[in-house]
Structure 1
Amino acid sequence: MLIVETIARIRREHFIKGKTIKEIARDLKVSRNTVRKVLRSGKTLFEYERSIQPRPKLGRWAAELDELLAANAAKSAREQLTLIRIFEELRGRGYDGGYDAVRRYARRWSKERGQSTAAAYVPLSFAAGEAYQFDWSHEIVLLNGVTAIVKVAHVRLCHSRMLFVRAYPRETQEMVFDAHDRAFALFKGTCSRGIYDNMKTR
């Protein structure tokens, strides 16, 4: 977009100072076509508006990009690829376009998908003392200068979101029982039911 000052300067340089179109274009770092357009017109504002964003490079790759985005969305949050990795995967298949086209397409794809799945969200609510959740996480810690992986037991009350966390060397039944005993002692009681997510404890 040309600002009013630049348009006025183009006209002044040409009509008052007598400079050529080539000289004006070089001095003001605009194209000669732009200088010509300003000189031939009485307008004080010039804008370039693209009515439709073309996708010349992405056009035939849209189906493959849809496939990659859908496969990525189906993965767990931890396993999902970044958009850069998806772009690199597409390039590996022969796509020679730019990242911006992929990014714009992915944003539009996510927005459309988000609108269609937003209605499927069901908020959970729990009464006080109704339920607790138990799960393990794996953490990397430094013990006596040695890097080690520990298992961390998480017990959370669903209503108040109060949390108990304790680290263990392994995931065994004894450690599950110990984590529950200590959590219920901290909570000063237990709940009507427990919620467990695909336990692999032996």
Structure 2
Amino acid sequence: LEEERAEMREELQQAEEPYTIWQLRLEQDKLMAMYYDYLMHQRNRFVAEWAEFNLNIKNILAAYTSRQLGFDPKEYIIGGGTLQHHLRTSQAADFSITEELFPQIQQLVNISREEDIARREQLIDRLRWDWLEEQTFFKPFDIEYLLAYYLELEILERWVSLNEETGEKVFRQIVSQLKHESTTSLEEFKRKQKK
């Protein structure tokens, strides 16, 4: 496989076409890396952590998928952090990623094993949703809460646009959950105000 890749790279470099698919993928990877690097260096901690969380999800899933397909994971990893180093160099089945490095690693490993693509996407969005909720649960009056709300609306909009019936069902479940959580948050806020 490595020999075939080396031959393919050599052929692409010698090709007369100025723009090859391989070059396009490399340029897209560079653009994606610059995008995440920019976001992870923002002053707003929430924005930086959200970007890092999403980059880690994409990299972990890319590593597991490429390994399942017999490809070298290091060619599909973007960024240069500790987690990315593990994904590029580790030969361990779990890439030596601990919960200290990525707390949701076990959930993501289970998601990577899901064969139904739609179900996998739902699980990934659920993981993102849970992260947003966890980050903003005790900050109902901060800008981070508004940013999380916007990101949650984007998740909902995506599912509504994919399938109206499923999207509406998911939307109703989430609205019901939000009502319950907002009541809980309000009660918690009132208790803290009394102290």
Q: TM-score, normalised by structure 1?
A: 0.23
Larger RCO: Structure 1 or Structure 2 (Cα < 8 Å, ≥ 6 residues apart)?
Answer: 1
| Higher share in helix | 2
Q: TM-score, normalised by structure 2?
A: 0.24
| Higher share in strand | 1
